[in-house]
Amino acid sequence: MKYVDEFRDPTMIARAFEEIRTLADPARHYRIMEVCGGHTHAIFRFGLKDLLPPNVELIHGPGCPVCVLPMGRIDDGLELAGDPHVIFTAFGDMMRVPGSQGSPLESKARGADVRIVYSPLDALKIAEANPDRQVVFFAIGFETTAPSTALTLLKARANRVRNFAVFCNHVTIIPAIRAILDSPDMRLDGFIGPGHVSTVIGCRPYEFIVRDYGCPIAVSGFEPLDILQSLVMVLRQLRDGIAKVENQYARVVPWEGNLAALRVLAEVFEVRAHFEWRGMGFISHSALRLRGEFAEWDAERTLPIRGVCVADPKAAQCGEVLKGVLKPHQCKLFGKECTPEQPIGALMVSPEGACAAHFKYRGAPQLVTLG
Ligand code: SF4
């Protein structure tokens, strides 16, 4: 398959590992963060971590939007879902994410009208088909998914669909990366930059990482060779004592981003002053909200949302894992009280969650056979 087979080619992969071994100075320990949860899963799925030199350490970052959502936002959403007049819609990866009173799926089991949608447009269609009900779309994701929410809101306005509302939980990646870099308990040598979000925002927003922190970054695709080539780029910069933004994923990511998507984001959303991230506290300018022009479709303005703050269970160490301070298996609850069947944190159930990746693939790397 084009763009897949050549990025899983065993000979090329073996060569990339060899290059990494050559570039990595045995006298140094490298800590390189893969920002995106999709990368974390690929790293485990293909067993890449186990074949790297021991002094090249991969740190999992916060790039899983479901994982960074604080419990209070889930509780707020599920309170809406408890109203029999409401049809609550969300993406499938939200369904098992626990709030303090259970997950959307558990709410559904208790009788709430909770429905999985594949796109916010599906939620809008449900609203058009049910004019006597209030349909709420629980919007979540980085800049990757926010344009589809924005386009849906434009359509809701054009079609005058009054019984549709968006509970906006879209977050933005750059302030989270800055918060990690400013964290006193974190030392990083470089980044594997998030590929999905960069298809929208491009590469230029990462320049502050180079300018203000002197860290190299390579925006990366998700196949094994993509990730290894990105590591080569970062290690080469470190060897040469330089720092720049490189785009390994140029077959998908335009340097300036997707201008049409950025335009629609700017038309519908504005940046919030601050937003709570799970385990990371409030981060300034790190999330989106609907502009005033879209107030009548904004669940936070038109529906009873309390804006509750709920502390994580005491023993859960989701915040430390999200910041890369702890590895998932170092959380006291990993694989014991917290499992995919009985999750305590979203990281254990999200398809992009670091704990889910550790749990699913530990000791079972797949697919890459070095020939
Ligand atoms: S094991 Fe569970 S509680 Fe611990 S960090 Fe992962 S998701 Fe959070």
Separation of CA 347 and ligand 1 centre (Å): 6
Side chain identity at 300, as an amino acid letter?
E
Give mean pLDDT, residues 26-45: 94
Q: Would you say the CB of residue 344 lies under 6 angstroms from ligand 1?
A: yes
Query: Residue 370: which pLDDT band, with cuts at 50, 70 and 90?
Result: very low
Q: Would you say the CB of residue 333 lies under 6 angstroms from ligand 1?
A: yes
Beta bridge partners of 169: 140
Q: Is the pLDDT reported for residue 157 higher than 70?
A: yes
pLDDT value for 364:
37
Q: Of 354, 355, 350, 345, which Cα lies nearest the Cα of 71?
A: 345
Give mean pLDDT, residues 278-285: 91
Residues 6+ away with beta carbon under 8 Å from 304: 79, 80
pLDDT value for 160:
97
Side chain identity at 179, as an amino acid letter?
A
Cα–Cα distance for residue pair 58/31, rounded to 1 Å:
6
User: pLDDT tens digits for 228-268?
Assistant: 999 999 999 999 999 999 999 999 999 999 999 999 999 99
Nearest residue (CA) to ligand 1, atom 1: 334
Separation of CA 20 and ligand 1 centre (Å): 31
Q: Would you say the CB of residue 355 lies under 6 angstroms from ligand 1?
A: yes
Separation of CA 311 and ligand 1 centre (Å): 14
Of the listed ranges 122-131, 174-183, 197-206, 255-264, the least confidently predicted one is: 174-183
pLDDT value for 87:
98
**What is the SS3 string spanning 31-58?**
EEEEEEHHHHHHHHHCCHHHHCCCCEEE
Side chain identity at 90, as an amino acid letter?
A
Query: Residue 23: which pLDDT band, with cuts at 50, 70 and 90?
Result: very high
The overall average pLDDT reported for the chain is 93
Nearest residue (CA) to ligand 1, atom 3: 316
User: pLDDT tens digits for 289-343?
Assistant: 999 999 999 999 999 998 888 888 888 999 889 888 899 999 999 999 999 989 9
- The helix (H) or strand (E) run that includes residue 185 is none
Nearest residue (CA) to ligand 1, atom 7: 345
Give mean pLDDT, residues 111-125: 98
- Are the beta carbons of 249 and 255 closer than 8 angstroms? no
Q: Would you say the CB of residue 356 lies under 6 angstroms from ligand 1?
A: no
